[in-house]
Structure 1
Amino acid sequence: MRQEPTESGTADVTDAGDVATDLRPEPEAPASGTRPPKRRRLSPWVEYPLLAAVALVLAFLIKTFLVQAFLIPSGSMQNTLQEDDRVLVDKLTPWFGSEPDRGEVVVFRDPADWLAGHELKPPSTTQKVLGFVGLMPAAGEQHLIKRVIGVAGDTVECQGTGPVKLNGKPLDEPYVYEGNTPCSNDAGGQFRITVPAGHLWVMGDHRQHSQDSRYHQNDGRGGMVPLTDVVGRAIVVAWPVPNWSTLPVPDTFEAQD
């Protein structure tokens, strides 16, 4: 600090390198014991219904666009899938133009009353609840699950007890239920078909216990499943925990490409 003369005497002046002092008064500290104001919360009568609505919307979006759980109602896919298993079905990839491929396990809507005359289990309370929120199909919806054997343009044939031939090449099918033959030596089990565009030929892994494409060749569609009826591809067994497994495409179908 230095002093400089003025008309009435001298005054202190701060040099360029000095730090100026802030002479403004400091804000007063809040009185002891006071608290910041609370944010207003919604009434429980408003908050709980709102949370429930959000949960339902999220469940609907997940079920519609991502994945959905399905209950396996029968043993037609043993031993790959057991009765009462829950599988998760990928519903997202079809939105990007992907179509089911050979060897995939797919869930599809009943294409032509395949389930007519079959006694269906009544849904459990859990299934009703999950169906209500959209995490499982609603009670009464008719779906089937099978393995894709042929896609558009493929020729599939069975003679005698097999093996199944795809485009003239025999399939190696270790997933076929133990004690079953790849082809069934009966009227429906003997065939040679070519899959038309926009359709699939499907068969169950429990060959002698599966009412699949083979036994619906007189349904007006030749036993074919339209792509428009396919819900999605089963990708994993999610429940019960001891049965947890993924569902990859068997090597025999990769060799067909």
Structure 2
Amino acid sequence: MTDETLPSRSAGRARSRRGVLLFLRDVLVVVVIALLVAFLIKTFVVRSFYIPSGSMENTLQINDKILVNELQPSVFGLSRGDVVVFRDPGSWLPPSPPVVRNPLAQATDTALTFVGLSASDSDDHLVKRIIGLPGDHVVCCDTAGRITVNGTPIVEPYIQIPPGQKDAATLTFDVTVPSGRLWVMGDNRYNSQDSSRNQALPGHGFVPLDHVVGRAVVISWPVGRWSWLDDYPEAFRDVKENRQ
């Protein structure tokens, strides 16, 4: 071995280290960009939520995960029959018990929530179906047990009611939905903390539009339940407009 080969080997090792560092830098940049894109999508376009209760059965089952389009209603409007996720308008939900997790599980959940793949705040939100839009006159029930919207009875194929019951709600109501509000109900009508069950609260059961996170569009998990969520336009087709 000559003295001239030593600088050559040193230069080779330096180039190799530099190549590894450049590769790691590129990987880091790609990861940061991917996280940023995922965060922006989660913040402005789509979020994931899990279903903690049976209030929307049989449309949604406990522990289903859904994807929510956040462009509705911020960019596109909502329609009767849409399934929406919204923040608790005030005392609809009992206080959530503290969840104890080990540090690794907590860190993982926080990271997944950050990019929209988890939903640690699902217990602070509700998911229901829109029955009345601003200006709608919503009444329960007619002699056949149906809800009427602007005087038109609606036939709701998505609801679940116990055997022997005919009314499409557990409590009667006769309301006109104020501007900037919604009247929402769970598909599992006799097991849902919805507008009809919260009429005595200060908000009288109405959900402010600015509390709506977005429209639920698809069941994403478990794989065997993957499906688009129907808004059943035929149920509301004959309803006359009475908007504010």
Count of residues in Structure 1 that have an aligned counterpart in Structure 2: 217
From 218, 242, 257, give the equivalent of 2:224.
242
1:63 corresponds to which of 42, 60, 70: 42
Q: Which moved more, 1:115-124 or 1:163-172?
A: 115-124
Shift of 1:215: 1.3
Distance 1:181 1:207 in 2: 11
Offset of residue 140 of structure 1: 7.1
Question: Which residue pairs with 2:67 in the alignment?
Answer: 88
Report what 1:9 is aligned to.
Answer: none
TM-score, length of structure 2 as denominator length: 0.78
- Higher-Rg member (1/2): 1
Q: Which TM-score applies when normalising by structure 1?
A: 0.74
Shift of 1:129: 4.3
**Coordinate RMSD, CA, aligned:** 2.9
Find the counterpart in structure 2 of residue 108 from structure 1.
Answer: 86
CA distance in 1, matches of 2:161, 2:33: 47
**In the superposition, relative to structure 1, how do residues 122 and 107 fare at CA in structure 2: closer, same or farther (>3 Å)?**
farther
Displacement after TM superposition at 1:94 (Å) = 3.3
User: Which structure is richer in relative contact order (CA contacts within 8 A, separation 6 or more)?
Assistant: 2
| Alpha-carbon distance between aligned partners in 1 of 2:80 and 2:98, rounded to the nearest angstrom | 28
Q: Identity rate of aligned residues, in percent?
A: 44
- Kindly report which structure 2 residues correspond to 1:108-187, keeping only aligned pairs within 5 A, or say none: 108-117=86-95, 125=105, 127-139=109-121, 142-159=124-141, 162-177=145-160, 179=162, 181-185=166-170
2:52–2:123: 8 Å Cα contact kept in structure 1? no
1:229, CA displacement in angstroms?
A: 0.4
Q: CA deviation at 1:154?
A: 0.5
Give, in angstroms, the shift of residue 128 of structure 1: 4.5
CA distance 1:171–1:211, shift in 2 (3 Å): same
Letter in 1 for 2:81: G
Q: Give 5+ residue unaligned stretches, structure 1.
A: 1-36
- The aligned counterpart of 1:53 is 32
Is the CA contact (8 Å cut-off) linking 1:157 and 1:193 kept in structure 2?
yes
Output the amino acid matched with 2:124: Q
Superposed displacement of residue 90, structure 1: 0.8
- C-alpha change, 1:123 and 1:221, in structure 2 (3 Å) is farther
SS at match of 2:236: helix
Q: Which runs of 5+ in 2 are unaligned?
A: 1-14
